[in-house]
Amino acid sequence: MTSVGAGTILRKKRFEVWLRKATVELLLLLLSSVLFSLAFPSLISKWGIAPIAFISIIPVFIVIHTSSWKSIIPYGAFYGYITYAIFNYWLSTFHPLAIIIVPTIYATYFVFLFPVLKFVDKLFPRYGYLVQALCWIGYEYLRTKGFLGYPYGIIGYTMATVLPFIQISSVTGVWGVSFLVILPSAYLGNAFRKGIGGFNDFFTTHRIESYFYCGLVLINLIFGFLVMTDYSDSPQWRVALIQHNADTWKGGLRAYERNFKILRDLSIEAVKDNPDIVIWSETAFVPGVDWHSRYRTDNERFALVTDLKEFLATQDVPYLLGNDDGQLKNPDLPPVLPDGSYNRVDYNAVLLYEDGILKDTYRKIHLVPFTENFPYKETFPGIYQILVDNDYHFWERGTEYTVFETGGVKFSTPICFEDVFGYLSREFVNNGAEVIVNLTNDSWSGSLSSQMQHLGMAVFRAIENRRSLIRSANSGMTGVIDPDGRIISLLEPFTADYLVTDVPVDTERSTIYTAFGDWFASLSILLALAFILAGIIRVIIRRIKA
């Protein structure tokens, strides 16, 4: 055999070995993506299969160990894209672009995270899994910040139904729960890096850490059982939640009229049960009430606004409703400019009416990226134009953390996905809110999974601040969560109905999370950086000595 022929055979064998290895590693990443998605509410399970979360990332950590540096970046891109395409499959019903944009963003995140985890693995062959867990918490926290902030998929949220386990959120926020959930995957991923046969040796070396983790979980559960309490003796706020089961943005004026009729008829029935307040969902009433009351730029919408205000004037109970709040962009110019365009900016808002009079307004602060807000029009005009051409509705950003008050109860109203950000609810509570009221529209997804994932995150906002949380959604999930995260009432999704229920107003307890916010996540980042820096210095010193 010639040397050329031998070289060809050798290259072929090397390629076959690489192909087998890459196939196994890609299948492991795909397995992790599926397990991760199943741990959350999905098509398979309405509430999600929480125990899966503890092992769902094991395949990722195995691949981190076994893969080469050349493979780690494409593997990160593959895992991030596939995971969020499966987990957030319902984004495709919102717009085809959404199911491309969001997974692409997460592919980019994991392109950076995977090399970091690999680097930690090389720096700390023995205890790298502890630093990797800290890095994971840092990743989860950082991806909630800024314009692209998106908390869906934080692994701690899989535990929303395991109430004793997540009471620690009142101290650490969701981040402490995430740490307890991700640590077993990091530990076992290290244990199985040499295959199943290597587990015994790893456990023998690291059994003390495993016992410590079990003790930590036990303490966490004991804490959870001890802090949960009965709210039957707390003051009660009787609320009527109206779920009219319609995507309020679809159909134009005729649809707005139909929706208003449903809202009005359901409200008339609900007030027979003597609620203290009636609550409609996000943008339940679309035409801007304030705008059309001031400026008659559209006679048909003005007539519908007049009908709403006349109805509210007949009601003896306060009404809280979501609305497209239009305001003059330039107060020195008329509402309609000479070229026919409107001198107008719009806010996604909540209006409180009492005795038929507008009492107060909250304007949404944290807007949905791309679909509600794109601040880079000048920098990326092409992307901006694509969004405009696809009929995305842009809002202005509110600035005030409004605390409403009616009937002696103080409350604040995060709109839509604002209740998935811990910092917002915390800020409202620090400003005096006794109850958190989330007005949302998840009907566009047409998906129970989407609505249940959103509900699960709301559970944590209640526990973090020890405040009851009310959800008024136009198609689900409409209900009430008590300060310990118990879902005490819930309407059937995708039905037009109302719910009249009592909400405990308990302000006896304040929390470490309300006082100090996301300190646990920040500490995790600092510790991860400190360990990595120490590891680098240790390697440098060893090389100098060598």
Residues catalogued as catalytic: 282, 364, 416
52-80 CB burial, b ≥16 within 10 A, e <16: bbbbbbbbbbbbbbbbeeebbbebbbbbb
Residue 69, token pair as written in the block: 């540096």
Residue 161 DSSP one-character state: T
HEC string for 529-544: HHHHHHHHHHHHHHHH
- Cα torsion 267, 273, 277, 280: sign: negative
Number of Cβ within a 10 Å radius of residue 208:
8
Q: Residue 94 in 3-state DSSP?
A: helix
Q: Of 216, 200, 58, give the one whose Cα is nearest residue 133.
A: 58
Give the Cα separation of 282 and 251 in Å (integer): 17
Phi-psi region of 55 (alpha: psi -120 to 50; beta: other; left: phi over 0): alpha
Q: What does the CA dihedral 411, 417, 418, 422 come to, rounded to 10 degrees?
A: 100
Q: Of 153, 145, 208, give the one whose Cα is nearest residue 181.
A: 153
Give the Cα separation of 125 and 27 in Å (integer): 25
Distances from the Cα of 398 to the Cαs of 11, 364, 434, in angstroms?
Answer: 62, 5, 21
Q: How do beta strands 435-440 and 468-473 pair?
A: parallel
Residue 195, token pair as written in the block: 């295959």
Residue 358, token pair as written in the block: 């507008």
> Are 169 and 512 contacting, i.e. CB atoms less than 8 angstroms apart?
no
